[in-house]
Chain A
Amino acid sequence: MNWGMNMADEETELDHLFAQARTARDVLPDALAVRIETDAEAVRLARSAPKARRVWRQWIALIGGWQGMGGLVAASAAGVWIGFSAPTFLPDPVDYFALSETTYLLADLNLDETYLEDAE
């Protein structure tokens, strides 16, 4: 390099410029410090969220995130809807249990005759 002077002087002047630059090295603007500390607090609070909320988030993640959760809700809603408003071509399972018109009585079983036949 050549500033019109010898190498030692050149080094000295460059070092002088570096020294001037270092005068502001350890200074952080207050507004920036506040921004940084606000970020830190937000991260800290998010990390210390109630455990129940974290468990809920983990459960949602387990079923595939919010997309999986949406699918689950849709499937559940469809099930409820089918239960209340089933298509006409499907048999109604309630008929098998509650609305049967046939009545069975114990007397119709002729238990006396059965016992008599065994005794003989």
Chain B
Amino acid sequence: MRGGGDTVPEPSDEMLLGRFADGDATAARLLTERLGPRSYSVALRMLGNRAEAEDVTQEAMMRLWKMAPDWVSGQAQLSTWLYRVTLNLCVDLRRRKRPDALENVAEPADGAASVVDRMQDAARKDALQAALDQLPDRQRQAVVLRHIEELSNPEIAGIMDISVEAVESLTARGKRALAAILAGRRDELGYEHG
């Protein structure tokens, strides 16, 4: 696995894209490390299937490589563009084929944790994914971008092409719906009744 959150803070994504358009192969590697995980993370949460999320991420990044020479500086954040392309690809894929299962969503568990803890962690992640899958597309997008990707509301508004107020409404309704869906699984997930 490659980490992309703490590497190469400079130059900017836009500068790297310009360097790639000029034929710099190194820029592609840096952009992959920086932007690839974001696209993959969102695709995984939107689709609930690793293989499909990988295909969507590869396609989104391919579109990035192809449009590099045409990118107009300052028109938008590159990450905003990539999130939007990724979400659109996810919606297209879900329309063509409903997600078949949640089988691959659980992440590798911490080796130091006990077996029970690891099973409970996996169950919680599966439970969250199962609950996310039950949300309408727009609510799920807003919740994933806000609470898993930790983007700001204005940035989410730019990605989803809606107002900040609409983002706040979608995330609030999404969280309420998630809580309602998860309410029946509290014991299974190891949360004690208060």
User: Which residues of chain A have a CB within 8 Å of any CB of chain B?
Assistant: 1-6, 9-10, 13-18, 20-30, 32-33, 35-37, 39-41, 43-44, 47-48
* A14 CB to nearest B CB, Å: 6
- Closest Cβ of chain B to A73, distance in Å, is 31
A–B Cβ pairs within 8 angstroms, 17 of them: A4-B183, A10-B179, A14-B182, A17-B124, A20-B125, A22-B150, A24-B107, A26-B6, A27-B2, A28-B1, A28-B2, A28-B33, A29-B1, A30-B2, A35-B54, A40-B28, A40-B31
B193 touches A4 (CB 8 A): yes
Interface residues of B (CB under 8 A from A): 1-6, 20-21, 23, 25, 28-29, 31-33, 36-38, 40-41, 44-45, 54, 57-58, 61-62, 65-66, 68-69, 107, 121, 124-125, 127-128, 147-150, 175-176, 178-180, 182-183, 186, 191, 193-194
A17 touches B127 (CB 8 A): yes
Q: Are B1 and A23 in contact (CB under 8 A)?
A: no
Q: How many A-B residue pairs have CB under 8 A?
A: 131
Chain A contact residues: helix, strand, loop or mixed: helix
User: Could you say which residues of chain B place their CB within 8 Å of the CB of A30?
Assistant: 1-2
Contacts of B33 in A (CB 8 A): 28, 33
Q: Are B147 and A18 in contact (CB under 8 A)?
A: yes
Closest to B110 in A: A23
Distance between Cα atoms of A17 and B68 in the complex (Å): 37
Taken together as a complex, chains A and B put the C-alpha atoms of A25 and B1 apart, in Å, by 12
Please name the residue on chain A nearest to B186 by beta carbon: A3
When distances are taken between beta carbons in the complex, the residues of chain B under 8 Å from A41 are 25, 28
Name, among A17, A22, A30, A47, the residue most crowded by chain B CB atoms within 10 Å (CB to CB): A17
